[in-house]
Structure 1
Amino acid sequence: MVKSSDLKSNATSAVLSGCALGGAWYGLAHTIFSGTAEAIVPAFGAIAIASTVPTFILNRAAHRRFHDTRFSMAQRLDAFDKHACINIVNENDELTEVNEKLLELTGYDRVDLIGQPVTILYEASGSKIALEIRNNLRSGKSWEGETALRHKNGHTVYTQSTIMPLFDRSGNWGGSISVRTDISRTNELISERHTAQTLYELRDDVWIIDSETETFSYMNRIAESRFNINSDDYRKTSFSELAHQRDTSEVLAACRELKVSGKPSTRFETVLMDIPVDVSIKFLPGTDETGRYLILINDISERVAQEKHKSAFISTVSHELRSPLTSIKGAMGLLLSKSAGELPVKAVSLLEIAHRNADRLVLIINDILDLDKISSGEMDFELKDVDLAALVKEVNEANAMLQQRFGVQVEIMGLDVALPFRTDPNRFIQVLTNLLSNAYKFSKPNSTIFIDVADEGAQVRVSVKDEGQGIPAEDQHKLFNRFSDMANSDRALKGGTGLGLNICKAIVENMGGSIEFESTEGIGTTFYFCLPKVALQDAQPALEKQKRQA
């Protein structure tokens, strides 16, 4: 803007210049003209020059200022255009102009937008704001605020917008101009800051570790407190050093195993610095071959204590119930064997129902006591050299009465020769009996159960196959859980407790083996377990792991 003092100064200079030129002309004309012309021409010429020269000078100055101002304005508009996203809308709310910055931000081409309703730019959730903007503009008011725009590929970009109404010379509303600044990254930074603050205040330990260098990039407040370490120190400490100093080697091993296996996550329970914890590890891949481990550690001391109290209570109650229940069952057995003489037919029928339910109660109590032993790590194993073929035959003979009860045949394979093996015979019988009992319960009448024993060199594989209804695919993942409910389960009618398979898994894994199954709905199920040909102490790592998970 030109100051008034500058204008006065320029006008004064122009007048003085005109007077000077007029005076010069007057002096020069006197030497050129003579006679009447000598009296008239110099005077009129001087007056004309003195009056026109200032006007000419001022016009030239004004023209020069106009071009300077226009050039300066063009520079400013160019900078404005490169910095902000601009669009112009006509009175019908249609886009008539968009700059390159807006096209770059939204991913559209110019032909995608020109002539389209301005709402094409807005997210569906932004219709309310679009209406508010329109009402403001039509009433002659500008609008400022945050707007969510829809990128061509579907994601959302956020802008801080100033939208002004446009009017023609008659004062009629003719549309609007919008000036927007991309604030998506600012919003992301604010969100990341809030997330970081939340993570820092979590009650669970949070670690973030570089998978390539195995160095810490983040620890939240509770983790820093647990290890008595600050951000400056933990960033200088490798995971290996911490594992050695604070006995977190199991977490380190789990991270390395996760990286090798290619699995996205893992979870387990362990003891960290004498505190029982639940550890959840997720591998977060980076843009290159590296990545990060996100580790969440939850203190489960309170839960473990509650479980111990509950387990102790259940164990005590079960022990107290088993003795009288055994006596009741024995007394009913004597009555059914007619030791006290003949009973009425109706009484015998009722007594048989009571005897069967007593059997079921004994089974439940025994299962609960076994679970208690597993959870406390007190399940004993007595290894003996046995003939595995003889054990399998013994289990089959002991369950012969079930063949008649369920109308099912049994075929045994792989027992042509003796199979020397070292195991705990009672635990082996317990596992096989449970699998065989389930096969009986869920087999179709007149079908066949197949028991197969295979010597696979380093291990022995025992399988029980039935021709029953099979297990629904959606339920198979929870089959070894305690009290798991199947979608088509009639366990209550079959007399099961929902604990047997969980106990079988614990026994087999305590002996260093594994148990799996294959099932197809409508065709049947095969359960199989494998036991290594090693002494129990060689399977100690698996046993310790089972104790922690039980």
Structure 2
Amino acid sequence: MEARSVRGLSGAELEHGISVFLDQVIRTLELERTAAPLQSRRISGRAGGGKPALSEIGDTAAQHGKELMQHGFTVEEVVHDYGDLCQAITDLAFELDVQIEVDEFRILNRCLDNAIANAVTEFGYQRDIVVADQHAHDLNARLGFLAHELRNQLSTATLALSVIRNGSVGISGATGGVLERSLVNLGNLIDRSLAEVRMTAGLPLQSRLFSVHDFLAELKLSASLEANVRGFTLKVSDVDPLLAVEVDRDLLLSAAGNLLQNAFKFSHPHGEISVNAYAVADRILIDVEDQCGGLPSGDAEKMFLPFTQAGQDRTGLGLGLSISRSSIEANSGVLSVRNVPGTGCVFTIDLPRHALGDESANAEQ
């Protein structure tokens, strides 16, 4: 019998399914030799599959499939579990020079067929339950974090507005700044959540050709408000107006916006945030450079994991970089990070290069 990984199961647990199954096969063979051979179907189940019917082998095989799933086995190992038993029986018969009759082998195959079918069916059912529970848990966790952050920002904005309404302070003062920051943060949360919904739902991309120059202008316009509110200098480089990318503009804007939000969040106060776009061979690169001071060795890639946050500012869900990477990869791009010790991080969006005019050329072709 082929040796297979038992994943730490004890002998008693391994024998549960096989020992009971062997006993059921023996009883089935015995009943087949009586005057009422059809009584064996109560144990083995009927041949040929079809509509499920109650049988002892079906019941215990289902329990065995559930047990193997709970101990981390794969569905292939569930099938091989019974296949190994069949191989062991035939090998033992050969070694003892015992001939297995055709009817006996037919009955053994019926028992194995029904056992495998029921074990695999229950294995799949139990696995679906585990997956559904995990998805529900992850969804509840994300919804909980999102609701918490939205409530905090909305509460802050409401309080600031109440103070301004009372007339004791002006809209241009510090309280107005609090209101402005809260509204900016609310907008960021909503934009990031919409991008995550699109990526999770697998909605089709709305790809189109557009100028990188125009895209950076839009990105600068939307990010300038947050830069001013937080006290940062935002510098966006000039780029050849003919350089273009062909991607889902909303997803790219969301990804780049997340990178800028991350830069504003972790950079030293009153620092400079830079956005530079340039072409290298057949690629368009967009760098977002912050002044966070750099990262400890080995921490760069960890930032892309969901619910991961670094630094003292723990606001947000810890999903921004994870969503950004998914959005870029969905557009045949790459999002990477380079650590600059003592200075900060450079996040790079790498996309296929196009030029304005490609759209008409493609249409002619």
Equivalence for 2:80: 224
Equivalence for 2:331: 511
Cα deviation, 1:109-154, whole Å, max 9, x if unaligned, reads xxxxxxxxxxxxxxxxxxxxxxxxxxxxxxxxxxxxxxxxxxxxxx
Equivalence for 2:307: 483
Equivalence for 1:23: none
Q: Which has the higher contact order (CA 8 A, sep 6+)?
A: 2
1:347-496 matches, cutoff 5 A:
353=178, 356-357=181-182, 359-360=184-185, 363-364=188-189, 366-368=191-193, 370-375=195-200, 377-413=201-237, 415-445=239-269, 447-486=271-310, 489-492=311-314, 495-496=315-316
Equivalence for 2:73: 205
Q: Which amino acid in the other structure matches residue 230 of structure 1?
A: D
Q: Which amino acid in the other structure matches residue 394 of structure 1?
A: E
Equivalence for 1:502: 322
1:302 to 114, 124, 129: 129
Q: Which amino acid in the other structure matches residue 133 of structure 2?
A: Q
Displacement of 1:432 in angstroms is 1.1
Cα deviation, 1:224-244, whole Å, max 9, x if unaligned, reads 25xx6336769xxxxxxxxxx
RMSD: 4.6
Cα deviation, 1:11-43, whole Å, max 9, x if unaligned, reads xxxxxxxxxxxxxxxxxxxxxxxxxxxxxxxxx
In the alignment, structure 2 segments of 5+ residues that lack a partner are: 15-67, 89-119, 355-365
Contact 1:459–1:531 (8 Å) recurs in 2: yes
Distance 1:406 1:229, change over 3 A: same
Once residues 460 and 275 of structure 1 are traced to their aligned partners in structure 2, the CA distance between those partners, rounded to angstroms, is 50
Contact 2:209–2:247 (8 Å) recurs in 1: yes
Displacement of 1:305 in angstroms is 0.3
Displacement of 1:274 in angstroms is 10
Distance 1:312 1:442, change over 3 A: closer
Equivalence for 2:36: none
Distance 1:424 1:233, change over 3 A: farther
**1:522 partner SS:** coil
Cα deviation, 1:505-537, whole Å, max 9, x if unaligned, reads 111111121111011332211000112359xxx
1:529 to 334, 342, 349: 349
Displacement of 1:379 in angstroms is 4.0
Displacement of 1:391 in angstroms is 0.5
Cα deviation, 1:398-434, whole Å, max 9, x if unaligned, reads 2223444444434434603332322211111111111
**1:461 partner SS:** strand
Contact 1:322–1:362 (8 Å) recurs in 2: no
Cα deviation, 1:492-515, whole Å, max 9, x if unaligned, reads 3xx443111011011111112111
Cα deviation, 1:200-252, whole Å, max 9, x if unaligned, reads 94632379xxxxxxxxxxx85x3525xx6336769xxxxxxxxxxxxxxxxxx
Contact 1:408–1:445 (8 Å) recurs in 2: yes
**Mean CA deviation greater in 473-482 or 400-409:** 400-409
Once residues 334 and 512 of structure 1 are traced to their aligned partners in structure 2, the CA distance between those partners, rounded to angstroms, is 44
In the alignment, structure 1 segments of 5+ residues that lack a partner are: 1-192, 208-218, 235-272, 278-298, 535-550
Contact 2:279–2:353 (8 Å) recurs in 1: no
Once residues 275 and 361 of structure 1 are traced to their aligned partners in structure 2, the CA distance between those partners, rounded to angstroms, is 45
Distance 1:479 1:303, change over 3 A: farther
Once residues 180 and 291 of structure 2 are traced to their aligned partners in structure 1, the CA distance between those partners, rounded to angstroms, is 29
Contact 1:451–1:465 (8 Å) recurs in 2: yes
**2:287 partner SS:** strand
Distance 1:450 1:481, change over 3 A: same
Q: Which amino acid in the other structure matches residue 276 of structure 2?
A: D
**1:491 partner SS:** coil
Please give the TM-score of this superposition, normalised by the length of structure 2. Answer: 0.55
Cα deviation, 1:150-180, whole Å, max 9, x if unaligned, reads xxxxxxxxxxxxxxxxxxxxxxxxxxxxxxx
Once residues 483 and 319 of structure 1 are traced to their aligned partners in structure 2, the CA distance between those partners, rounded to angstroms, is 12
Q: Which amino acid in the other structure matches residue 374 of structure 1?
A: M
Query: What count of residue pairs does the alignment treat as equivalent?
Result: 261
